[in-house]
Chains A and B, each alone.
Chain A
Amino acid sequence: MSPVPPNPLLEQFISESRDLLEASGKKLMQLEDAPDDQVILNELFRCVHTLKGNSGLFTFPEMTRVLHAGEDLLGMVRSGQAIYSRELADRLLDAMDYVGLLCGEIEATDGIDASRALESQHLADALRKLMPNLIPNQDAAAVRDGDSPVVANAQTSPADNPSADLKQFAAIPAVARKSALERCRQGDQLHWISYRPQRECFFHGDDPLNSARQTPGLIWGRILAPGPLPPLSELDTYSCLLGFDLLTNAPREELDQYYRYLPDQVEIIAVPAQWLEKGHGDADGASKALSRAIPSGSFSEDDEAAFNWILAAQRQILLLDDRPAWHAGRLKAIAEVLANLSQAVGETSTRSDIQTALAEALSTGHNTLLLAWLDAWIVTRKTIQPVAGLSWARGTDGIMAAAKTDSNLDVGSATAGDPSKAPADEGVRFGRRAEDSLTGTRSLKVDQTKIDRLMNLIGELVVEKNALPYLAQRAEVQFGSRELSREIKGQYSVINRIADEMQDAIMQVRMMAVSFVFQRFPRLVRDTSRKLGKEVQLVLEGEQTEADKNIIESLADPLIHIVRNSLDHGLESPEVRLAAGKPATGKLTIRAAQEADRVVIEIVDDGKGIDPAVIKQKAYEKGIIDEATLERISDQEAINLIFAAGLSTAAVISDLSGRGVGMDVVRSAVEKINGTVVIESELGKGTSIRISLPLSMAVTQVMVIESDGQLFGVPMDHVIETVRVTRDSIHAIKQTKTAVLRGRIVPLKSLNTLLGIAAIPRLNSDDELAVLLVQAGNAELGLIVDGFQETMGVIQKPFSGFLTGLSAYSGSALMGDGSVLMILNIREIV
């Protein structure tokens, strides 16, 4: 397959759609807690509305259909015609998921597979089923168009019905159409009547069918059911459910007279002949007659339509009898438009007439002169008689609809062939602009790889600059130049400062709010709890807390796992909760906060808690602990066993928290990014899991220690303190060496022994051993080493290749003198 040339408009569409989908999902979640919040509802509506509008620029009927249904439904919720419900939210979320799926498909293949049509129809139907008094998309023509309002609401008043939609002209059979055009040519004005009788009209003695049949000048008419017809068993014979569309050549006055008792039930619109032809496709006499009436110059068909339309619109505005505060401005704009229109047809002399008429209108408050001028101009221009503006807007729609289905009109041809092409693709460049980002949010979207590259470069710089102190030392020691050495040191401190700031700045760029991960929880909690039949209130706190992107990203899976565990095993069903004297709705809090240079995330539930006895028994059964341990293990230690591999506490493993995958996976994931995880639980009260992570994983502060002449790094996260212990204060309890440090008995281990180095630890001149007190999980441990050196920030690189098997080390770092520092993985070695 040949590569598809990138289409910036399509890319923009996909990217904006993703943003809007995300926002929609969020709003839906918020609505769940506050179904009456009009602000959120409006925002949600606008998201879906914009999505739909955008999709209409392309030929993606599957997407547009679903979005249109969603928009209609939300519109009804907004106006109070439909009620927000969980089911409604479910269907909308389904629809959003589906649209997201389509986005992916469009991105991958530049189009949507035709097989999607049925799914899309099902989803749209599901949405429409939730609309009161509406029937699923029945109109085959509307399905083809993909975006037309499908059914009219039987309850809305006739005037609100988009009854005069030009698409309906397509229903006029050719014979009637021809006859209508013939009469048009003879100078008759055609009128379209949309007659929507009141439901109770039978009681007033009306027989709408009879009225329709007797309509003066009738050329064609049809009977239709604007709303759904009920099942036969529920039909109310005396409630009128039918409506009529009529085409007549009777003059307006006669029609007004005929329908004078039903003014609120009919809508009468003058129909220019060209509208009838648009649907017809062939040009005949009437259209030629029309183009003769159009002003000079080589007006295209579109120009003609636009000219007439704008003219009619100005007339309609002039006929408005309101006088709002912006009335003067509105008048001036009309005058400007009229002057421009006459200029466009080469009549520049009219400008002064218009100005005079405008001045009069402004001073007297009456538009008479402007209207008179406009009407006179229309007559001299012999343009078609302008009518109430309604038909003009519909007219566009008609043009659009005709163009869409009729590929021999140039406007539609671009869309007809290649679905990925924008309608106006030829000769038009859709360039992405710098302003795009400025006019949108004031932020810049940068490819992640570019940031990663910056990160790598600054990492190298930080390491390379560390070579300077060595150089200074060599200058002094090897070359005896103290002055040069001092200068190098001076330069070093400058570079050092800049590098630090730069590093900090790049870190800031990489910082991301935890909301990136948190935002999926509302949906997750909602779906999962519903599946489990539980009522759960989710509380998110500190969503704006930031941390390095990698940290945030690697946080997602462990957090999801913990949340699922809480929902699955922690929080009880409403009945159980009520029986235990708790509120039926459980509470799950996910809280993020920054503490010094770490991000702390807590997941707290008020569920049933963890029973240490059960854990102990399970652990024993599975051979994780022996009988002796079973006897003496504390409750807290037992609860910590939940992180041990191969322990699953739930009696039934549900499909939600994952079969056979326990909390051990969470722990290793967290530890991989230098984090720690602590669990606390109280039986019957709930469980709290606390994850502490570094703000950034790019630079690790390590303490450099020496053992058997080699240097090692120990991440500062694990270092509690460095102490010197005299040999005689070391006691052996059983086989373990211990010392009393900070008032507690701490086991001591020799680093050499742990690493399999044969040498014994060196004592200093005072007969003391150097002990590094470290935190390994929940335990404290004294590491006996030979000596301590400085702490430094290093860029830790994970091992690659065969070295990855060395679990004693978490990675390596390059030192300023070019040597490699091995970073100890404290948890693994103890």
Chain B
Amino acid sequence: MPIEFKKNRALFRDEVSVEEAEALLEWLQTRPTAKVDLSACSHLHTANLQVLMTAKAGVSNWPKNAELRSWLEPALKSGE
């Protein structure tokens, strides 16, 4: 599973595809305080990204991939 949903935290792993976006959206809709852990993520499809941005989801861990992190950090931090 590219996204592992825990109680109040979602763990992203490797490449997260467009198919995951709907589930992510539903999950976040019911958990306004949920955080995402992106440390193990190497890429996420734009659809997932815009769900995170719209939800202003908090990020508990940034990607280890520095290049990806440099993209995501400004976009997701501004939502906080």
Contact = CB atoms under 8 A, between A and B. Distances in A.
Interface of A: 197, 202, 207-210, 212-213, 221-225, 229-233, 235, 237-238, 240-242
Contacts of A207: 18, 45-46
Contact of B50 (A213, A222, A242): A242
B27 to A, nearest CB: 11
Given A232-B29, A235-B51, A240-B50, A223 B74 contact: yes
Nearest to A225: B53
Contact of B44 (A209, A222, A231): A209
B71 A221 contact: yes
Given A209-B46, A209-B49, A240-B46, A233 B71 contact: no
Contact of A229 (B43, B44, B54, B67): B54
A233 B75 CA distance: 20
A212 B21 CA distance: 19
B55 A241 contact: no
Contact of B71 (A202, A223, A231): A223
Nearest to A233: B29
Contact of B74 (A208, A210, A222, A230): A222
A231 B54 CA distance: 7
A241 B18 contact: no
Contacts of A232: 25, 28-29, 54-55
A237 B49 contact: no
B11 interface: no
B4 interface: no
B46 A202 contact: yes
A241 B53 CA distance: 10
Contacts of A224: 75
Contacts of A208: 46
A195 to B, nearest CB: 11
Given A197-B46, A229-B50, A231-B54, 4 more contacts: A212-B71, A213-B68, A229-B53, A230-B54
- The winner among A224, A231, A235, A241 for most chain B CB atoms within 10 A is A235
A235 B25 contact: yes
A238 B68 CA distance: 22
A209 B53 CA distance: 13
Interface in B1-60: 18, 21-22, 25, 28-29, 43-47, 49-51, 53-55
- The winner among B29, B47, B75 for most chain A CB atoms within 10 A is B47
Interface of B: 18, 21-22, 25, 28-29, 43-47, 49-51, 53-55, 67-68, 71-72, 74-75
B54 A238 contact: no
Nearest to A238: B47
Contacts of A221: 71
Contacts of B50: 225, 229, 235, 237, 240-242
Nearest to B75: A223
Contact of A223 (B21, B49, B67): B49
Contact of A222 (B21, B22, B75): B75
A604 to B, nearest CB: 59
Contacts of A242: 46, 49-50, 53
Nearest to A211: B46
A237 B29 CA distance: 13
Contacts of B43: 209-210, 213
Contacts of B55: 232
Contacts of A202: 18, 45-47
B71 A209 contact: yes
A576 to B, nearest CB: 51
Contacts of B71: 209, 212-213, 221-223
Contacts of B47: 202, 237-238, 240
A210 B42 CA distance: 11
Nearest to B32: A232
Contacts of A212: 71
21 contacts: A202-B47, A209-B44, A209-B45, A209-B71, A210-B43, A213-B43, A222-B74, A223-B71, A225-B50, A229-B53, A229-B54, A230-B54, A231-B54, A232-B29, A232-B55, A235-B51, A235-B54, A237-B22, A238-B47, A240-B47, A242-B49
A544 B73 CA distance: 66
Nearest to B55: A232
B46 A237 contact: no
A229 B46 CA distance: 14
A722 B19 CA distance: 103
Contacts of B75: 222-224
Contacts of A197: 46
B10 to A, nearest CB: 15
A241 B28 CA distance: 18
A233 B32 CA distance: 12
B24 to A, nearest CB: 8
A656 B74 CA distance: 55
Nearest to A205: B18
A202 B17 CA distance: 11
Nearest to A237: B21
Contacts of A240: 46-47, 50
A319 to B, nearest CB: 35
Contacts of B72: 223
A210 B67 CA distance: 12
Closest 5 CB pairs of A and B: A223-B75, A237-B21, A209-B46, A229-B54, A208-B46
A618 B11 CA distance: 83
Contacts of B28: 232
Contacts of B49: 209, 223, 242
- The winner among B22, B28, B51, B54 for most chain A CB atoms within 10 A is B54
A674 B30 CA distance: 77
B16 to A, nearest CB: 11
A229 B29 CA distance: 15
Contacts of A231: 54
A725 B40 CA distance: 118
B54 to A, nearest CB: 5
A437 B53 CA distance: 56
